[in-house]
């Protein structure tokens, strides 16, 4: 296995930074807690890929950590519901991490994880059922990073641009060579 600190969520958790006023290690821990406490999410991730329909902010980092190393498809909030559904189907998305205000246009056959209340809880919608997942009792991650660890060249996120899917690697994201608008709002 490659060095975990070469991956975006681990590297950000090891930093001493915040996003949206919440420490990044707390947000990454919330994403991992979601995986630990939601077996249906783990099963969906094993068979399909995740997508993020989120504005920049804390929810994006929780979602990225919960993607468990799978390449996250970043969905454009400004497209129509029909385009959104087509992109989700085309990319083989099985779960969309989102906010309640954005979830209305999602296809009903795709799991959605509503992250309005992170880092305390998430709401999982799947197969006509809803489940609240407590994320608030996790212990924050304690990671120590080394500045000389090279970041992974594996893809961390992708999005559609001019009908083609474009991706960005962990290395590009962490070195600023790739677009960070899907994760921005750092402090």
CATH number of the domain to which 40 belongs: 3.40.50.980
Asked if residue 153 has a cis previous peptide bond (ω within 30° of 0), the answer is no
Domain assignment present for 97: yes
Burial of 147-164, coded b for 16+ CB within 10 Å and e otherwise, reads eeeebbeebbbbbbeeee
Q: Do residues 18 and 24 lie in contact, with contact meaning Cβ atoms separated by under 8 Å? A: yes
Number of C-beta neighbours around residue 146 at 10 A:
8
pTM (2 d.p.): 0.86
Indicate the number of domains in the chain. 1
- Per-residue pLDDT, averaged over 100-104, amounts to 95
The answer on pLDDT for 187 being more than 70 is no
Domain assignment present for 70: yes
- Per-residue pLDDT, averaged over 37-44, amounts to 95
**What's the confidence (pLDDT) of residue 13?**
74
Domain assignment present for 107: yes
Please, where are the H alpha helices in the chain? 8-14, 24-37, 39-47, 58-66, 81-91, 100-103, 170-175
The segment with the largest mean pLDDT, out of 32-36, 112-116, 165-169, is: 112-116
Domain assignment present for 65: yes
- Weakest mean pLDDT among 101-110, 138-147, 161-170: 138-147
- Per-residue pLDDT, averaged over 53-74, amounts to 91
Determine the Cα–Cα distance for residues 41 and 45; give it in Å rounded to an integer: 6
């Amino acid at each position: 296995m490659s060095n975990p600190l070469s991956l975006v969520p681990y590297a950000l958790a090891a930093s001493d930074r915040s996003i949206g006023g919440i420490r990044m290690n707390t947000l990454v821990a919330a994403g991992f807690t979601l995986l630990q406490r939601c077996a249906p999410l783990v099963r969906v991730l094993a068979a399909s890929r995740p997508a993020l329909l989120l504005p920049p902010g804390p929810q994006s980092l929780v979602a990225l950590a919960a993607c468990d190393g799978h390449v996250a498809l970043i969905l454009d909030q400004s497209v129509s519901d029909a385009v959104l559904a087509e992109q989700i189907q085309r990319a083989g998305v099985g779960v969309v991490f989102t906010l309640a205000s954005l979830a209305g246009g999602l296809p009903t056959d795709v799991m959605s994880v509503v992250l309005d209340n992170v880092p305390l809880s998430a709401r999982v919608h799947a197969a006509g059922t809803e489940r609240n997942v407590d994320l608030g009792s996790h212990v924050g991650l304690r990671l120590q990073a080394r500045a000389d660890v090279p970041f992974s060249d594996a893809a961390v996120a992708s999005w559609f641009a001019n009908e083609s899917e474009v991706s960005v690697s962990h290395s590009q994201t962490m070195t600023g060579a790739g677009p960070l608008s899907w994760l921005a709002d750092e402090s």
